[in-house]
Amino acid sequence: MRALKGLFLLIIANLAVFLTLAITGNLLIHFVLPAIGIDLRGSIATYDFAWAMVFGFGGAFISLLFSKQFARSMYPMQPVIEPKTEKEFLVYNTVKELSARVGIRMPEVWVYWADEPNAFATGPSRNNAMVAVSSGLVENLSDDEVRAVLAHEIGHIANGDMVATTLLQGLMNTFVYFLSTFIARIAASATSRDEEPNWLVYFLVQTVLQILFSVLATIVVMWHSRRREFAADRFAAEMVGAEPMIRALAKIDAIARALPAPEAAEPDALATLKIHASESRIARLFMSHPPIEERIAALRALQAQGRVR
């Protein structure tokens, strides 16, 4: 029931985003830009590119703006504002301490109920973020391992990963929309028997190319996601030491593999945010996280070089 509610809210949210961007794009292209001497309406290519930017970057930034609300809708969560238990004090005080050390506003702290040991950070900016940990994480990891995981998540926030990923996603979206539309227009004109474009060809070509280009764009975004995981691991090692981070990664991976597989092969909408993501049923190019053994090896290499303790 919760999954259906989440799906319904996601559909409504996407419709609202589409309408907002459609209205904004029309106002921008037909009124605002011409008023300041920039008229994109005369060129089909620039007109299409302007629309591609509106939907590409607009959708990505709206998702970023509401990322905390979206994340909270995915799980039953509760905020930790005044910690009461020993584990809540551990999580809250660690986030408070680490955020102060790196000079950012303390993120919101949330706990969600899930057997899988995991954590994630999200939010529209470094000073407007949240950190969430699963009940499985605090129940199965030692205190120093929990601190290492939290340092990893603070690393994502301090490094500005959410904004960087949004910019990359917006750029990829823009080129997906533009290239698929541009090529579809050429195909529709080439197959036309009169002055009117062949709209059936246009629709088919655009749909196929959007799927193809979206797959290619996903490869780029996932490559970036894997790189930021290495950077966040290094940040955690610098903050609390490499050994707790290595133990945490190994333990999280072992527990996650021992848990029963999900009944449905449903994609995890928050996979790129979490410290651990499943490697099953997906090719290496589409992995949001590097394999655990590679992350541990990278930390060991940093230790050997004397760059972390």
Catalytic residue list: 153
> How many CB atoms are located within 10 Å of the residue 78 CB?
11
Strand partners, 78: 111
Strand partners, 87: none
Residue 240 to residue 229: CA distance in whole angstroms: 16
Going across the sheet that includes 119-125, the strands are 77-79, 108-112, 128-134, 119-125
Residue 123 to residue 114: CA distance in whole angstroms: 21
Integer Rg of the chain from CA:
22
